[in-house]
Structure 1
């Protein structure tokens, strides 16, 4: 479960790290995933505080709720994180469509390591809350949750370079990944308004879209298009 929930995290890290100088990208991915690991372990160690974030801080009147809408610390974090994810992904799509990212040469500018790490830390915190709250519903033992997080991060560290290379080599896959991140951002914003969406539907849609795109990529690589034979009926 931690690996599945960490897919969106590794996609985001792979995309933002691409803004670094190529010589720094592997280091940036490693630092980003290690920070994600430390943040999740730290939050797991303060699990009672995280659970307490689900308690309302104040109430507001909203037209769709029968009672006063209780705004919690979790709602605020998910709302800000969702907006950040939507804004960042939209900016990346705009940059990609404008061709600014693909412009090579001595004039090409790269982001600083510090700026990229700050973005990774911000989104790590949001994804960590989502991951930990899901884990709390599955098990009660904090040590088991920490072990699951460590194992999932080890798997992601091993395959992060492969995932990043695949995403960045295929523009359509990158555009699809950015669209996924926008969808996840919208989901986080909706959750902040207590409109829960079954995550299984989200991940199924992502998997189905990816499968269709992989089939399209294979079709484009073929020298001759697939010819469909006409069916004749008597």
Structure 2
């Protein structure tokens, strides 16, 4: 309790909290895009529950990892050497997560380009889809949670600050999940853009796994620029549709 009181009276602690909170929210965007894309494949009545489960698991994993900070720090120690390259558990997890993201995004892009295929039994497909969606969300939650907590550990030594930043960031994810998922669902071109983001994030994770640090500012700047261009395209399409409406009638 004394530690919390001291932190509340320390301006540097507040600065660290705000900085870490912004970082956690930015890192949560990747997680949220993936959850939105995966849950939009489910029947409409299952989507809110799947999103809540996915984001709830993200919070549980982040808090669980925070309780094992000493273990998390050791994940960056080399455990295996291949072809002269040292790999830690963190590197191996990032490599696995990057490969999974690339596979998932490529599969979704292929399905969007060529949607025709055999129709499985509807009931069995729904069961498998919900279970598969939760399984995929759990796997990526683990990857993104690990990245989030390692970032938090590197930014502040104070556990209460980490906990507050993580909890607030996940609450914001929970609030934003529904609107973001609906926006992605209602705008097919945004789906392709989001899948492109996942491909880029997957390649970034693989690069990180091989020890090549990619400044996240570059990644999120590219994402923001692409989103801005797509927003302008959407405005242009809507304007053309409004202008063409009366003549079309």
User: Taking structure 1 as the reference length, what is the TM-score of the superposition?
Assistant: 0.88
Structure 1 97/56 Cα, relative in aligned 2: closer, same or farther at 3 Å?
same
Q: Per the alignment, in what secondary structure is the counterpart of residue 146 of structure 2?
A: helix
Q: Per the alignment, in what secondary structure is the counterpart of residue 152 of structure 2?
A: helix
Shift of 1:108: 11
Structure 1 108/58 Cα, relative in aligned 2: closer, same or farther at 3 Å?
closer
Partner of residue 82 from structure 1, selected from 88, 94, 98: 98
Structure 1 residue 128 and structure 2 residue 142: aligned? no
Structure 1 59/208 Cα, relative in aligned 2: closer, same or farther at 3 Å?
same
More helix by share: 2
Structure 2: which 5+ runs fail to align? Answer: 1-22, 245-249
Q: Deviations over 1:170-204 (max 9, x none)?
A: 01111000000010000000110001101000000
Shift of 1:18: 1.4
Q: Per the alignment, in what secondary structure is the counterpart of residue 42 of structure 2?
A: coil
What corresponds to 2:20 in structure 1? none
Aligned-pair Cα RMSD in Å: 1.9
Pairs aligned (count) = 216
Structure 1 residue 27 and structure 2 residue 49: aligned? yes
Shift of 1:75: 0.9
Structure 1: which 5+ runs fail to align? Answer: 62-67, 226-234
What corresponds to 1:48 in structure 2? 70
Residues of 2 paired with 1:23 and 1:9: CA distance?
A: 21
Q: Per the alignment, in what secondary structure is the counterpart of residue 80 of structure 2?
A: strand
**4+ long deviations beyond 6 Å:** none
Residues of 2 paired with 1:100 and 1:13: CA distance?
A: 24
Partner of residue 212 from structure 2, selected from 195, 203, 221: 195
What corresponds to 1:139 in structure 2? 156
Q: Deviations over 1:65-117 (max 9, x none)?
A: xxx3211111110000100000001101111112359x9xx799434322211
Partner of residue 211 from structure 1, selected from 228, 234, 242: 228
What is the 5 A alignment of 1:95-134? Answer: 95-100=111-116, 109-110=125-126, 111-134=128-151
What corresponds to 1:37 in structure 2? 59
Partner of residue 172 from structure 2, selected from 148, 155, 164: 155
